[in-house]
Amino acid sequence: EVQLLESGGDLVQPGGSLRLSCAASGFIFSMYVMDWVRQAPGKGLEWVSGISSGGDYRDYADSVKGRFTISRDNSKNILYLQMNSLRAEDTALYYCLIRPTTPVGGWGQGTLVTVSS
Amino acid sequence: DIVMTQTPLSSPVTLGQPASISCKSSQSLVHTDGTTYLSWLLQRPGQPPRLLIYKISNRFSGVPDRFSGSGSGTDFTLQISRVEAEDVGVYYCMQSTQFPHTFGQGTKVEIK
């Protein structure tokens, strides 16, 4: 069974940093493209970033480009999102997921990031 | 960016009756590799999204066959043949063809 477990969310001041992690199990992590998606309170879904299976290709939403960095450790089956220069508008529930382009689908439970002074 | 427009935004349905949601994209979702990366998700109240359909019409494992997807190019549809109580929630379409990936606004399905 595919499992994705996010962690690292917290309350942080504007301008601060956080690193989110997503521990994957139940599938061959190194074979799949992964994404981060976020959902602000009471709002819809926003794609944040994606990374290729080997980690060599990365893409970002304009809203986070230059501030967030996606990475992965295929030896540990973990996906990361390093978040710097955080703003109030980054407040959201952050989900990791297997990019929904193959029969193997999975979406985590989410980790909450709150940016506030 | 590709804009995904869903209709209706709210859909009161009767248990056992069909339901249909439309999703239109501002550009063709056919990738250069020839595949159309259009998926559907359901977010039940208080829960994370759940993947239902990928590549227009393929159901993920465990998704009941009352859910079906269709369409091509810029016009796509999710159909529920007979709505059950557990189908209540917000449905989203998502395109993974072009960066940035984008979602529809969501369609809230509730029981009449």
CA dihedral (A23, B46, B93, B96) in degrees, to 10, reads: -20
Calpha distance B75→B23 (Å, rounded) = 6
B53: closest chain A residue by CA: A100
The pLDDT tens digits for B74-83 are 999 999 999 9
CA distance A23 to chain B (A): 16
SS3 state at B87:
helix
Query: What b/e sequence results for B72-84 when a residue is b if at least 16 CB atoms lie within 10 Å of its CB, and e otherwise?
Result: eebebbbebeebe
pLDDT digits (tens, 9 = 90+) for A38-51: 999 999 999 999 99
Q: Give the confidence band of B110 by pLDDT, cuts at 50, 70, 90.
A: very high
Contact list, A62 vs chain B (CB under 8 Å): 100
**B103: Cα separation from own chain's centroid:** 10
The single-letter code of the amino acid at B2 is: I
Each residue of A86-96: pLDDT tens digit?
A: 999 999 999 99
Token pair of A46 as six digits = 């926003």
**Selection from B40, B18, B19 nearest residue B29 by Cα:** B40
Q: Classify A44 as helix, strand or coil.
A: coil
pLDDT tens column, A67-76: 999 999 999 9
Contacts of A97 in chain B (CB under 8 A): 51
Residue B3 C-alpha, separation from nearest chain A C-alpha, in angstroms: 12
Residue from the list B48, B94, B99 with its beta carbon closest to the beta carbon of A100: B94
Q: Residue A33: closest CA among chain B residues belongs to which residue? A: B96
